[in-house]
Structures are given as C-alpha cells and as structure tokens.
Amino acid sequence: MKKLIPITIIILIIFGLAYVMSGKIEPQENVRALGKFYLENSYFGDYSAKSPEVVTAILWDYRGVDTLFETSVFFLAIIGSLTLFRLNKKQEKEAKERIEKVEELTLVIKTVTKVIVAMILAVSASIALHGHLTPGGGFQGGSALAVAPLLIIAAYSKYALEKQGLDKTRALILRSIGLIGIALIALLPLTKGGFIMQNQPIFPWLGGSLIFYNFFEYLAVGAGFTAVFLLLAIPEKVFKKILGVGE
C-alpha cells in the first residue's frame, strides 16, 4: 500500500504535465483590472508602494493585513511544535548527559559545511534585504537562513550551535524580536495620523516600510525554524527515555 502512494503521485504529475502541454489550457491574454492596478501602482501612481518588486508590494502593502494574519498562523504552528517537543532545563541537561559521544561527520564534510554556511548567510540576507527591489523577501530569506543551522546540526551536532551561544532560548528571543518589530512597523503609522500598516507617505523613501517588514520577517522565520530544529535534533531514543515513552 505504501508503495502505491508515490507511484500514484508520479502518475498524477505525468497526466497533469501532459494536460498542460496539450494546449488545452490557454494563457490569459488580457490583464485583469486588479492586476493592472497593481502593475501601474507598484512603483508609480497615486497609491504607489515605491517598490519595483510588484509581489512584495502586494504582500506587505496592498494586502498587508492578510499577510500579517498568515504570519501569525505560521508562528502559532511553530509554537505548537515547540510545545509538543518541549523539555525543561533538567530534561535538557539529562539529554545532553545521556549522549556520551556525539558522532560528527568527516573533516572534509565539516570544512565544506563551513564554506556553504557562510554562503547561505550572505545569500539569505541578500534575498531578504533586497526583497523590495528584486524577487525575494523576508519569508524566503528566513527559510534559506534556517538551512545554515540545519547543516551545522547535521555535520557537527546541535551542541556545536549551543556552544556558540545559539540555543533554543536565544532562537526564541530572536524570533520574538522579529514579531515585535513587525508589530511596531505596522502600528507606527497610527502615531502620525495614518492607517495601520500604511506605507507611503509615512515612509517616504524607496520601498518605504517594505524593507523593515522583510528584515523582521527574515529574523523571525529563520529563528523560529532554528528553535524547532534544535529540539528535533535530540536523538529519538534519548528523547523517549527522558519522557518515559515506550518503556
């Protein structure tokens, strides 16, 4: 039965591609009124977000409240994951003591990991901080950023991160800073006679508030995923012994 599931998925993908390539799905020739509004007002126009990146303008400006709720749902999922796999300080200490020797990968893999992690940090920051100018944004950048600690956990172990000061608690603090930053940027226009999440003319420079939203989203997403990874990196047999599961 389990083997039939991937086979079924592959067959559905093949049929879907065949249907698309058959020409039965015709491309949209005319731009809809709403799409035309976004294209005309992303960088120019009376309701401009002053951003040449239309997708970011739509996400954080024209439908920013909706994006804010989507972000809230995502972080409630993170909180749920942390609640399910939570350990108190005593249990975390016990988990560390139960692992007598952490198995690390070879020197070649660890060296390559250092280079790749440095590249990931640079690329993810570029994706987030240039999200108001080029394709990208805070969520995409934060997701890319979370790959760096995941690689370190795989090559070195979770304790290598914790020795450098990036433990679950600090990851949660960074995540909270990201969420607070988003909330402050959203409420700041109200102090200047504007509306919640209003961009221009409250933030009169290129991209306005979009770069701040992207930065804090980048911080919150990357730190949120990292906190979950650190908990999931505890070996299953150790986790079960601590919680008394399966004994």
Domain residue limits, the chain = 37-243
**pLDDT tens sequence for the chain (247 residues):** 566 777 788 888 887 777 767 666 666 778 888 888 888 888 888 778 889 898 899 889 888 888 888 888 888 888 888 887 777 667 666 666 655 555 667 888 889 999 999 999 999 999 999 999 999 999 999 999 999 999 998 888 888 888 888 888 899 899 999 999 999 999 999 999 899 999 988 998 889 999 999 999 999 999 999 998 988 887 666 666 666 665 5
CA–CA distance, 146 with 120 (Å, rounded to integer)? 9
Whether pTM > 0.85 for this model: the answer is no
CA-based torsion, 133, 135, 138, 143: positive or negative = negative
Q: Which of 55, 4, 15 is nearest to 214 (CA)?
A: 55
Q: Which spans in 86-188 are helix H?
A: 89-98, 107-129, 138-155, 158-163, 168-187
Cβ-contact 195, 247 below 8 angstroms:
no
CA–CA distance, 182 with 72 (Å, rounded to integer)? 11
